[in-house]
Structure 1
Amino acid sequence: MTSFCRRPGRLIRAVLIAAAALLSSPAPVAAFELAPFKDGLFAYPGILAMDDNGYRMVVDYQEKRDIHQRDEVPEKKVRGAYVDLSPRRVQREAVLETLFGSVRHMTVGRTKGARLITIYLHGQGGNRLQGVNDYTFGGNFNRIKNLMVRNGGLYLSPDVSNFGDMGAAQIAVLIRHYREASPGAPVIIACGSMGGALCWKLADRPDISPLLGGILLLGSMWQNDFRNVAAIHLRVPILIGHGSQDRVFPVGAVESFHRKVRKAFPGYPIRFVRFETGSHGTPIRMIDWRDAINWMLSARG
């Protein structure tokens, strides 16, 4: 993968990032843990290997068990035990007007005074409704909605107009808009597939990177020029979930990226969760949102 944007000189960037960190509103609140919600159903079904002091994990994935036994209608409707529809009471459709165009999005939870903000950015062919569908992807979007609502947080699922500079500019405005209404709330950006292009663009913005509490890449892409990414220098935690049989972004290239970051920045909080035999969409179905977010919050401090 190539880098996603041009960069000014290192000194100018350092000044911009430092200034943004100071002016981005009060310092983040102390780290907290998301309370359990259906952990017995959504926890990883088995750990096959744990390497690199816990920074690399291999999770057992079986299509028969994790799709056909879990879903009432495979890949379309999960069984009822995995779903709690109470977040629908605080789920709204909204439009944010920006200089870069309108951003249609779904909000779930506190739009003001949230303790935590999680944003899901869909990939090619997706839309804002994908991230709030209670029944697809094994009910995993229903779980993140419940985790945010039950822990005083806000969940956002916007339409992505494109995966270039315009799309990143729109999402940056969306982040700043809701972050201003929830000063101090860490912002977790979770990006599926091509949504990762936006994750990396946002991670490199001096106005956004200091606000980030974590970056979650789900069947997504790496960044060759990671040494110059603003969020990397701020040591923003990164968690990568990837299927071992992903045919869109080869698992070997993603694992290589993980190793390179760990080598270039010893002790960097970047975790790799490999779903053995999983395909491109497996991480969205199988990621343990609570485990992932709690790890990022504790690693960010």
Structure 2
Amino acid sequence: MQMSTAHFRTAAISCVLLPFLFMSSAGAETLAPFKDDLFSVQTVLETQDGGDFTRVDYQEMRDINGRDSIPERRVKDRYVALKVRRDQENQTLQLSTGPMDVGRVGRDQGQAFTVIFIHGRGGDRRLGLNDLSFGGNFNRLKNLAVQNGGTYYAPSVRSFDEQGVGNVAALVDHAFLQSGGKPVILACASMGSFICWGIARDPETVAKLSGMAILGGAPDPALLKSAAARAKLPIWFTHGSRDSVYAADDQIAIYRSLRSAGQPARFTLFETGSHGTPVRMSDWRAMLNWLIR
């Protein structure tokens, strides 16, 4: 299909202005919306702490069976925009700690911000790149990154010990350098939270982060004494109230300890949600708007 001169000029101008538009909106903590009517409209049952703690209504029949054409396997088409796959690439990055397999969505360098998602046990980069499972929530994250001039990395983490922490720290450093020092968000789900908590003890890596998101993660009783706490790194927790792997009350206690110490923290509790609910239901746009600073 041929493009008219007027259309070409409009497209060229948009490409040039996009990073600056994001920078302007980032100052107001706003990413351009993507399918907010499907993902961000959630019923809040209770708020505490001036809105920093919210208890959100979750119903399996509505939020899984009503959202998916094949429950837990394939979301309905209207929840996704698959053209974003054109901006997706599998890479093996040569980092300071060695090679790391990642999926990258968005710019290779010069990005306005970066989001790095760490999967749980038994996963790899394919989990964070899955467009059709998890209610289309990763597809939304991809589109939010691309449409706002950002980059999304989904790495394969081979271990959740010190070596894994070191590898992810090297990826944070890579993203920080490639973007020219723009915000980097580290998001960790389930057992992947061990990576976030290890990073939280590394002052050099913490200094390169804008914030963390913990989705159904393990509680870290020592978090209040970490480098992340000393730096007042913003952390947003999301958790299911019926999580049988990591009890919600234990994670809420960590959130409370941070709040009591004056740390910037938020918590979204999905009422009746299970261990996997936060990956499906967490509002990426709301979290990124608060974490990108």
Q: Would the TM-score normalized by the shorter structure come out above 0.5?
A: yes
Matched, 1:161 2:158: yes
Match of 1:150 in 2: 147
Q: Which secondary structure does the structure 2 equivalent of 1:261 belong to?
A: helix
Match of 1:250 in 2: 247
Matched, 1:201 2:198: yes
User: What CA distance in whole angstroms lies between the structure 1 residues aligned with 2:104 and 2:28?
Assistant: 23
* Percentage of pairs with the same residue: 43
Q: Which secondary structure does the structure 1 equivalent of 2:204 belong to?
A: coil
Q: TM-score, normalised by structure 1?
A: 0.86
Alignment of 1:102-141 (within 5 A): 102-141=99-138
Shift of 1:44: 4.2
Match of 1:10 in 2: none
Shift of 1:131: 0.3
Contact 2:200/2:223, CA 8 A, preserved across alignment: no
Matched, 1:53 2:50: yes
**What count of residue pairs does the alignment treat as equivalent?**
268
Match of 1:287 in 2: 282
Q: Which secondary structure does the structure 2 equivalent of 1:212 belong to?
A: coil
Give the counterpart letter for 2:147 in structure 1: R
Q: C-alpha root-mean-square deviation of aligned residues, in Å? A: 1.3
User: What CA distance in whole angstroms lies between the structure 1 residues aligned with 2:253 and 2:97?
Assistant: 36
User: What CA distance in whole angstroms lies between the structure 2 residues aligned with 1:124 and 1:285?
Assistant: 17
User: What CA distance in whole angstroms lies between the structure 2 residues aligned with 1:99 and 1:233?
Assistant: 26
Shift of 1:30: 4.6
Contact 2:258/2:264, CA 8 A, preserved across alignment: no
User: What CA distance in whole angstroms lies between the structure 2 residues aligned with 1:241 and 1:46?
Assistant: 15
Contact 1:44/1:59, CA 8 A, preserved across alignment: no
Shift of 1:139: 0.1
Q: TM-score, normalised by structure 2?
A: 0.89
User: What CA distance in whole angstroms lies between the structure 2 residues aligned with 1:127 and 1:44?
Assistant: 30
Alignment of 1:150-299 (within 5 A): 150-263=147-260, 265-266=261-262, 268-297=263-292
Contact 1:109/1:152, CA 8 A, preserved across alignment: yes
User: What CA distance in whole angstroms lies between the structure 2 residues aligned with 1:201 and 1:44?
Assistant: 34
Range with greater deviation from structure 2 (97-106 or 143-152): 97-106
Shift of 1:101: 3.6
Unaligned runs of 5+ in 2: 1-25
Give the counterpart letter for 2:94 in structure 1: E
Range with greater deviation from structure 2 (116-125 or 221-230): 221-230
Q: Which secondary structure does the structure 1 equivalent of 2:159 belong to?
A: coil
Q: Which secondary structure does the structure 2 equivalent of 1:280 belong to?
A: coil
- Structure 1 segments of 4+ aligned residues over 6 angstroms from their partners: none
Of residues 64, 67, 88 in structure 2, which corresponds to 1:67?
64
Contact 1:116/1:154, CA 8 A, preserved across alignment: yes
Unaligned runs of 5+ in 1: 1-28
Contact 1:217/1:241, CA 8 A, preserved across alignment: yes
